[in-house]
């Protein structure tokens, strides 16, 4: 069925560009230049989606949307704005509009948002589950890069190395690449190097001949043989023992290997996707990981951003899992939405998914608020983010140092040597200390006791500093 879109914007040239980008036989587009013109058209005809600018000649587009939402509950909205300031973003957010896109307009963004909001509308009408069939959820800018890479890779046989913190979706990406490739009918085999005992890795991968070792009673095929034609996902590749790395290198170079205890060269055709949440470069410099293997594995690299870097996706992923795991329809209220957005998600998508599994199954409430989420979130679980990011970590420390070195070098270039009253030391200390405290407070979701512990300072000192830097106590709960 044809969908109808109304674009309300006074920028004529931009409207022409948008129409060109969006026009298909399935979409009928009308335009208006002012609020009153838009309102007139909406009264007269039925639309599915309104794309609306914020600053319009006869008023505020956000106010218009607020009124329209009350009057036409079936409409979806996309706000576009040149005023990409925090206030417009917050207002658009409070209005619960589907998307908020900033100018200059990225047409790809626009097309994706329109597509998604029209789909959402159909789903709303037909009571479908939210994006049930999408393998990966989220449309944030950082994930667009990932999606584009996946799309390109599926058509090739190149090896792929996926980096990313724990729980960011590395295995899901590997599976998605496999499922969309020509190998999709063949096996996808995931092997975790960290969880397999070292002496088993070799025989699991390459198989063994009868009598190769005690207990090898008959010839057994390994994954490289069993998965021929398919994809092998080598998880936690950084933990692969060094001598097995050489064997793997040979498979990648020549597509052949021998079984343990065997001499016969066996050909295999597998695609290798590997993943790690460690820094392989530092393993290479310590001679724990073969550099030549690294280059063979890392023909194409995909780096998955942490969930906290895809703020716009948190809610859609959360909604997806809430509806997936709940028997009855449940929904988040605005306090829950704020909580989900504000939390740091050290365990990434897996942590979010697990939280919603618990909430879906263990509460009978249909409206989920922040208190319920806080009750079920697992704050104390050890997490890689916190553990990996203390500054005893050498590469973090070096990054920070080289960043500061550069910064200071540039700073001194512009410093007036006659200005002796500048008070450089305090100035810089303050510059550094304020964001450090704000970020830590945010990370601890306002809990000052936890913040002072993580900062390693006394609670009163923290209080004094919060006052000194005028840090809004809204951040602070206790
Ligand atoms: N974009 C996404 N949309 C929906 N679900 C996702 C997304 N990314 C990850 N998930 C889900 O999150 C969970 C964790 O993902 P996955 O196992 O792929 O992470 P990982 O990076 O391999 O983690 P680890 O390093 O701990 O092995 C899975 O259940 C996966 O389906
Ligand atoms: Mg994994």
Write the pLDDT tens digit of every residue in 426-451.
878 887 888 898 888 888 888 888 89
What number of other Cβ atoms are within 10 A of residue 290's Cβ? Answer: 18
Could you check whether 3-126 and 142-303 share the same CATH topology? yes
Query: What are the sequence ranges of the domains in the chain?
Result: 3-126, 142-303, 307-384, 390-475
| Cβ of residue 168 lying under 6 Å from some atom of ligand 1 | yes
Residue 346, ligand 1, Cβ within 6 A: no
Q: Thinking of the domain 142-303, which architecture would CATH place it in? A: 3-Layer(aba) Sandwich (3.40)
Instruction: Give CA–CA dist 225/97, Å, rounded.
Output: 52
Specify the CATH superfamily of domain 3-126.
Response regulator (3.40.50.2300)
Could you report the per-residue pLDDT of 274-314, keeping only the tens digit for each?
A: 999 888 999 999 999 999 999 999 999 999 999 999 988 99
Please name the residue whose Cα sits nearest to atom 16 of ligand 1. 169
Q: State the maximum Cα–Cα separation within the chain, in Å, rounded to a whole number.
A: 86
Pocket test for ligand 1, best of 144, 147, 168, 179 (most atoms within 8 A of CB): 168
Q: Which residue is it, tokens 């794309």?
A: 51
Beta bridge pairs of residue 301: 161
Cα–Cα nearest to 88, from 103, 100, 105, 106: 100
Give the integer Cα–Cα distance in Å for 324 and 329.
Answer: 10
Residue 190 in contact with residue 171, Cβ under 8 Å?
Answer: yes
Residue whose CA lies nearest to ligand 1 atom number 25: 166
> Is residue 143 lining ligand 1, measured as CB closer than 6 Å?
no
pLDDT at 123: 55
Say yes or no: CB of residue 273 within 6 Å of ligand 1.
Answer: no
Q: Residue 395: its pLDDT value, please?
A: 57
Class of domain 390-475: mainly alpha
pLDDT score of 386? 40
| Average pLDDT score over residue span 211-231 | 91
Q: Which of 140, 172, 321 to mutate to test the pocket of ligand 1 (most atoms within 8 A of CB)?
A: 172
**What is the CA(284)–ligand 2 centre distance, in A?**
22
* CA 467–ligand 1 middle distance (angstroms): 40
DSSP letter string, 285-315 = HTTSS-HHHHHHHTSEEEEPPPGGG-HHHHH
Q: pLDDT-derived band of residue 112, with 50, 70 and 90 as boundaries?
A: confident
The pLDDT, as a whole number, for residue 387 is 43
Name the residue among 255, 257, 252, 250 with its Cα closest to residue 269.
Answer: 255
| φ, ψ dihedrals at 397, nearest 5° | -65, -40
Residue 131: the pLDDT is 37
For residue 23, report the distance from its CA to the centre of ligand 2, in Å: 40
- DSSP class of residue 456 equals T
Q: What ligand is nearest to the CA atom of residue 132?
A: 1
pLDDT band at 384 (very low <50, low <70, confident <90, very high): very low
Q: At residue 470, does pLDDT exceed 90?
A: no
How far apart are the CA of 249 and the centre of ligand 1, in A? 28
pLDDT of residue 38: 93
The predicted structure's pLDDT at residue 394: 53
Does an H or E element contain 274, and which?
strand 271-276
Q: Which tokens in the block code for residue 301?
A: 């690299």
Residue of 404, 322, 3 lying closest to 137 (CA atoms): 322
- Which of 28-32, 124-128, 423-427, 439-443 is predicted most confidently? 28-32
Q: Which ligand has an atom closest to residue 305 CA?
A: 1
Distance CA 123, CA 130 (A): 7
Residue nearest atom 5 of ligand 1, based on CA coordinates: 136
Question: Which CATH code fits 307-384?
Answer: 1.10.8.60
Q: Is 163 in the pocket of ligand 1 (CB under 6 A)?
A: no
Rounded Cα gap, residues 51 and 14, in angstroms? 12
pLDDT-based confidence at residue 10 (cuts at 50, 70, 90):
very high
Decide whether any atom of ligand 1 lies within 6 Å of the 350 Cβ. yes
């Amino acid at each position: 069925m044809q969908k109808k879109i109304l674009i309300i914007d006074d920028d004529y040239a931009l409207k022409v560009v948008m129409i060109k980008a969006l026009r298909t036989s399935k979409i009928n587009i009308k335009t208006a230049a002012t609020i009153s013109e838009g309102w007139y058209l909406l009264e007269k005809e039925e639309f599915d989606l309104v794309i609306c600018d914020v600053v319009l000649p006869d008023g505020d587009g956000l106010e218009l949307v607020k009124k329209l939402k009350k009057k036409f509950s079936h409409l979806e909205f996309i706000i576009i704005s040149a005023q990409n300031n925090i206030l417009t973003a917050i207002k658009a957010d409070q209005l619960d509009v589907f998307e908020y896109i900033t100018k200059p307009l990225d047409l790809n963004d626009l097309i994706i948002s329109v597509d998604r909001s029209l789909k959402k509308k159909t789903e709303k009408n037909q009571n479908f589950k939210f994006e049930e069939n999408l393998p990966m959820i989220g449309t944030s800018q950082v994930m667009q890069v990932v999606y584009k890479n996946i799309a390109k890779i599926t058509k090739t046989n190149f090896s792929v190395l996926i980096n990313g913190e724990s729980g960011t979706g590395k295995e899901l990406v590997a599976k998605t690449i496999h499922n969309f490739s020509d190998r999709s009918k063949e096996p996808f085999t995931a092997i975790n190097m960290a969880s397999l005992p070292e002496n088993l890795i070799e025989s699991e991968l390459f198989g063994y001949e009868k009598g190769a070792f005690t207990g090898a009673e008959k010839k057994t095929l390994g994954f490289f043989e069993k998965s021929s034609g398919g994809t092998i996902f080598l998880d936690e590749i950084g933990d692969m023992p060094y001598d097995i790395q050489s064997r793997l290198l040979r498979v990648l170079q020549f597509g052949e290997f021998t079984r343990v205890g065997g001499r016969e060269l066996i050909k295999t055709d597998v695609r290798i996707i590997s993943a790690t949440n460690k820094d392989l470069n530092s393993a290479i410099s310590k001679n724990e990981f073969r550099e030549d293997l690294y280059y063979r594995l890392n023909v194409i690299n995909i780096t998955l951003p942490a969930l906290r870097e895809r703020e716009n996706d948190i809610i859609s992923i959360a909604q997806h899992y809430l509806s997936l795991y709940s028997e009855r329809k449940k929904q988040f209220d605005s306090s829950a939405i704020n909580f989900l957005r504000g939390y740091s998600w050290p365990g990434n998508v897996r942590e979010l998914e697990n939280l919603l599994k618990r909430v879906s199954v263990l509460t009978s409430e249909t409206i989920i608020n922040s208190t319920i989420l806080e009750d079920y979130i697992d704050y104390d679980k050890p997490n890689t983010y916190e553990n990996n990011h203390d500054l005893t970590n050498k590469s973090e420390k070096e990054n920070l140092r080289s960043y500061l070195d550069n910064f200071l070098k540039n700073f001194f270039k512009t410093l007036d040597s006659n200005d002796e009253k500048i008070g450089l030391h305090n100035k810089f200390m303050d510059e550094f200390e304020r964001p450090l405290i704000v970020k830590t407070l945010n990370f601890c979701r306002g809990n000052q006791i936890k913040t002072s512990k993580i900062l390693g300072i006394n609670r009163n000192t923290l209080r004094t500093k919060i006052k000194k830097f005028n840090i809004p106590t809204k951040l602070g709960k206790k």
